[in-house]
Every structure is written in structure tokens, then in C-alpha cells.
């Protein structure tokens, strides 16, 4: 079963990010939008922003670094005015990441996003991203090696 709030979140990732349809952002994101997700390498969240403008800027910024960026929605749940989604992000780094030159490498990592919906617009966003996995895959950071005494792999739980 889908609902209108879930559809807004789907549109955010599938239409705005994957299809790069930034003309339709006003139809999904409120003008007053509370952004609680700090960008990688920053230490503070943006706070209250112009939602459509901030969303367009974020998509342009991401696509500037990863022109083939694609999000796959793996799970989506909602309760009341809150929608939570787990996504798989994949892309190739062909643009600078801040002061770091492009690596030409691909990444694949998951993130969780929580949105609050008011009426027919997204009004608030939180994110927990696996930036460490992304930076390791891109070669921006190097792993220090395995910790002594820990197994190299973790057995799967059934």
C-alpha cells in the first residue's frame, strides 16, 4: 500500500535525483524546509532553508561529482507524518569532492533518510549516510588494515 507521503519521498529520489527533473521540485519540497543532514566534510547542518532551491543545489552538487549517480529505494515505511527510506546510492566520481580531485572510481553505499511531511510537501529531512564506505571505495581514504584478533569476515546470521 502506498500513500501520498510515501509518493513524495519516492519522487524526491526517483524523479529529482535519478531523472534530474529539478523543475518539479516545488511540487514536492516546501519553501520552508528544515535540513538536518550535514554534507560530507562539514560539521554543521544547514537548518531552515529554501527547500526547492536547496534541493536543486544538492542534486546539482551531487551530479557534479557523480554524473551517473543513481539511487535505488530498497525499503520505505511510513507512520503518521514521517517517512523513512533506505536507499542504495551508486555512481562514478568524475568531479571534484570539495578540494579532492576526481578519482574516476565507482562507489556503492547505503543511507537512511527520514522525511517529515506536512500537507502535500516534504518539510524536514534527516540522513544517516555511510560516507566511510564511499570514501574508501573512491580511494579518498585508506583502510588502516584489520584489527588484531578480529575475523576478516563476519559470518552471516540466518
Looking at the predicted structure, is the pLDDT value of residue 1 above 50?
no
What's the CATH code of the domain at 83?
3.10.450.50
Looking at the predicted structure, is the pLDDT value of residue 58 above 50?
yes
Looking at the predicted structure, is the pLDDT value of residue 153 above 70?
no
Cα–Cα separations (whole angstroms), residue 81 to 30, 40, 118, 120, 121: 14, 27, 7, 11, 11
Q: Say which residue, 38 or 89, is predicted with more confidence.
A: 89
Length of the chain: 158
Residue appearing with cell numbers 540522513: 127
Asked if residue 148 is part of any domain, the answer here is no
Q: Alpha-carbon distance 9 to 87, whole Å?
A: 11
Looking at the predicted structure, is the pLDDT value of residue 37 above 50?
yes
Asked if residue 9 is part of any domain, the answer here is yes
Asked if residue 153 is part of any domain, the answer here is no
Q: Considering the chain, what is the average pLDDT of its residues?
A: 91
Q: Would strands 47-50 and 121-129 be described as parallel, antiparallel, or unpaired? A: unpaired
pLDDT band with cut points at 50, 70 and 90 for residue 155: low
Mean pLDDT on 136-142: 92
Q: Alpha-carbon distance 98 to 61, whole Å?
A: 10
Looking at the predicted structure, is the pLDDT value of residue 16 above 70?
yes
Q: Alpha-carbon distance 45 to 65, whole Å?
A: 20
Asked if residue 72 is part of any domain, the answer here is yes
Query: What pLDDT, on the 0 to 100 scale, is given for residue 46?
Result: 87
CB contact at 8 A, 38 and 45: yes
Q: What share of the chain is helix, strand, coil (3-state, %, to 5)?
A: 30, 35, 35
Mean pLDDT on 100-128: 96
Ordered strands of the 106-118 beta sheet = 47-50, 29-35, 121-129, 106-118, 82-92, 70-79
Asked if residue 94 is part of any domain, the answer here is yes
Query: What pLDDT, on the 0 to 100 scale, is given for residue 156?
Result: 65
Q: Say which residue, 41 or 62, is predicted with more confidence.
A: 62
pTM for this entry: 0.86
pLDDT band with cut points at 50, 70 and 90 for residue 40: confident
Asked if residue 84 is part of any domain, the answer here is yes
Q: What angle (nearest 5°) sits at the alpha carbon of residue 47, between those of residues 41 and 49?
A: 110
Domain that holds residue 40: 4-138
Q: State the total domains in the chain.
A: 1
Asked if residue 54 is part of any domain, the answer here is yes
Amino acid at each position: 500500500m502506498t500513500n501520498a507521503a510515501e509518493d513524495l519521498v519516492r519522487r524526491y529520489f526517483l524523479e529529482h535525483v535519478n531523472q534530474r527533473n529539478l523543475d518539479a521540485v516545488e511540487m514536492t519540497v516546501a519553501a520552508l524546509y528544515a535540513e538536518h543532514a550535514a554534507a560530507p566534510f562539514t560539521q554543521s547542518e544547514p537548518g531552515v532553508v529554501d527547500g526547492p532551491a536547496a534541493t536543486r543545489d544538492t542534486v546539482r552538487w551531487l551530479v557534479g561529482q557523480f554524473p551517473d549517480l543513481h539511487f535505488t529505494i530498497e525499503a520505505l515505511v511510513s507512520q503518521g507524518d514521517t517517512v523513512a527510506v533506505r536507499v542504495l546510492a551508486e555512481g562514478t566520481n568524475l568531479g571534484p569532492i570539495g578540494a579532492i580531485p576526481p578519482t574516476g572510481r565507482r562507489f556503492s553505499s547505503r543511507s537512511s533518510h527520514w522525511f517529515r511531511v506536512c500537507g502535500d510537501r516534504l518539510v524536514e529531512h534527516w540522513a544517516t549516510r555511510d560516507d566511510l564506505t564511499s570514501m574508501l571505495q573512491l580511494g579518498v581514504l585508506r583502510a588502516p588494515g584489520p584489527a588484531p584478533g578480529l575475523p576478516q569476515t563476519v559470518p552471516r546470521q540466518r
